[in-house]
């Protein structure tokens, strides 16, 4: 068995000292040296069926990874290994800063080249062990720094990261936190797949979202994948009207992981309005629309927008939460696997479903797919909820009867306390033809005026 790639890099890099350099190496020389010397080991780490044979490579052969694709991965891992080594061992200096700046340019550049190559992306997903973990950590660092060229590459990087997480069942190290304490003995809220506990972290009250353990291996694997997908999407979101993810706790309820977020003492927007009256409905809808617009700008579809998934912060503003059914739009196509664990995912939220989610082919879609337009339809339902305190078709049972009314073209009645302007917006959001629904910026302008 060959040694791990990182170990090999460490050994080879230490042989490449340069007395003329205060940092002990010439970065570009190291890259070329590692590229040539570690290719064989890299191939061994790529798993079954991958054979880097550049002389005989033919485009379209699924069993061969071209050498240039391996080269980008080797370069990224070598640069990331060197960066971590320097940060942990080198004394602060001007030269150190310069080299770190160079690495912080080179690593995103290598990642961009990997994202542009189908062969390289395929090779990344085949990484194993510490190599996979190092690649995950490098991608996470690039995403956190916002170092990629644009939103398209960010979406592609998130997708590649998710595929590697699913293939190797591990999360980037940067997501984990320690120091959570004083958890409640009993959950405050029980959901379909998990429970929410109160605890403390960094001197503040937090919520621990613990995924419930299942005995069946297949179900447990599905739930674990759902947890990873939600955590990966959620951790990258930074907006005033989005509930932040503080990190992943793996100590409080071993062996279960928990997603940690700030505790929202006012609860859901529905509870808040029931307790305090409906004078803030327009302001809250404006804030919800801004949070939704941010998600869409990040090529993310919420997929489960409804009153119970909108919380109220200590400063009385809206926070979108629960990203378990989000979908990522990238490479010109939507990735819908995040919301497709089981048919039970549709239960409970079907009253917020646009008609094309209920009967895709009848409404111009080839398959079930959550989209920006289905989010807009759900926003119309949220407008109804906040004005009435009730879900769509509250007087219709069961859920299937409400779904039938939607595909027949029926819509809930106008609430008596809803203005003409808001009702016109809701009616447009509920259009049967998804192409006729308003865009979120238009919704923001309506409530902003």
Q: Please write the tens of the pLDDT for every residue from 407-449.
A: 999 999 999 999 999 999 999 999 999 999 999 999 999 998 7
Q: Where are the alpha helices (DSSP H) in 21-117?
A: 27-37, 39-45, 67-89, 94-115
Classify each residue of 76-90 as buried b or exposed e, where b means 16 or more C-beta atoms within 10 Å of its C-beta: bbbbbbbbbebeeee
- Give the position of tokens 């082919």: 361
Residues 285-312 pLDDT 10s: 999 999 999 999 988 899 999 999 999 9
- Helix count and strand count (H, E) for the chain: 16, 11
Identify whether the C-beta of residue 250 lies closer than 8 Å to the C-beta of residue 257: yes
pLDDT tens column, 327-358: 766 433 344 333 332 233 444 489 999 999 99
Question: Global pTM?
Answer: 0.78
Asked whether the beta carbons of 193 and 214 are under 8 A apart, the reply is no
């Amino acid at each position: 068995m060959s040694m791990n790639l990182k170990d090999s890099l460490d050994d080879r890099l230490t042989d490449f000292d340069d007395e003329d350099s205060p940092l002990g190496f010439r970065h570009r020389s190291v890259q070329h040296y590692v590229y040539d010397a570690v290719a064989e080991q890299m191939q061994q780490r790529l798993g079954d069926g991958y054979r880097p044979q550049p002389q005989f490579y033919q485009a379209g052969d699924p069993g061969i990874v071209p050498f240039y694709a391996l080269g980008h991965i080797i370069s990224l891992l070598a640069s990331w290994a060197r960066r971590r080594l320097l940060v942990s061992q080198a004394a602060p200096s001007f030269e150190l800063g310069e080299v770190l700046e160079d690495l912080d340019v080179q690593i995103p550049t290598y990642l961009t080249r990997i994202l542009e190559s189908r062969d390289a992306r395929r090779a990344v997903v085949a990484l194993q062990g510490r190599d996979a973990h190092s690649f995950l950590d490098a991608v996470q660092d690039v995403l956190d720094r916002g170092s990629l060229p644009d939103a398209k590459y960010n979406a592609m990087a998130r997708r590649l990261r998710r595929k590697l997480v699913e293939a190797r069942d591990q999360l980037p190290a940067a997501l984990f936190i320690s120091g959570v304490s004083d958890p409640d003995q009993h959950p405050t809220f029980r959901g379909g797949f998990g429970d929410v506990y109160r605890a403390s972290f960094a001197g503040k009250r937090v919520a621990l979202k613990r995924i419930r353990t299942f005995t069946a291996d297949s179900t447990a694997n599905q739930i674990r994948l759902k947890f990873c997908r939600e955590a990966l999407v959620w951790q990258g979101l930074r907006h005033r009207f989005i509930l932040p993810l503080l990190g992943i706790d793996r100590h409080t309820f071993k062996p279960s992981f928990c997603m940690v977020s700030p505790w929202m003492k006012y609860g859901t927007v529905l509870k808040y309005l029931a307790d305090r009256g409906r004078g803030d409905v327009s302001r809250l809808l404006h804030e919800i629309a801004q949070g939704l617009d941010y998600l869409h700008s990040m090529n993310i579809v919420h997929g489960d927008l409804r009153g119970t998934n909108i919380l109220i912060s200590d400063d009385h503003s809206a926070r979108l939460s629960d990203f378990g059914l989000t979908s990522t739009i990238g490479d010109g196509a939507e990735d819908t696997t995040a919301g497709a664990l089981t048919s039970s995912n549709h239960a409970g939220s079907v009253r917020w479903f646009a008609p094309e989610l209920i009967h895709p082919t009848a409404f111009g879609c080839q398959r079930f797919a959550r989209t920006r337009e289905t989010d807009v339809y759900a926003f119309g339902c949220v407008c109804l909820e906040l004005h009435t305190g009730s879900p769509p078709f509250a007087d219709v049972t069961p859920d299937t009867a409400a779904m039938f009314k939607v595909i027949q073209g029926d819509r809930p009645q106008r609430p008596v306390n809803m203005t003409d302007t808001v009702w016109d917006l809701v009616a447009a959001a509920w259009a049967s033809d998804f192409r006729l629904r308003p865009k979120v910026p238009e919704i923001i302008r309506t409530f902003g005026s």
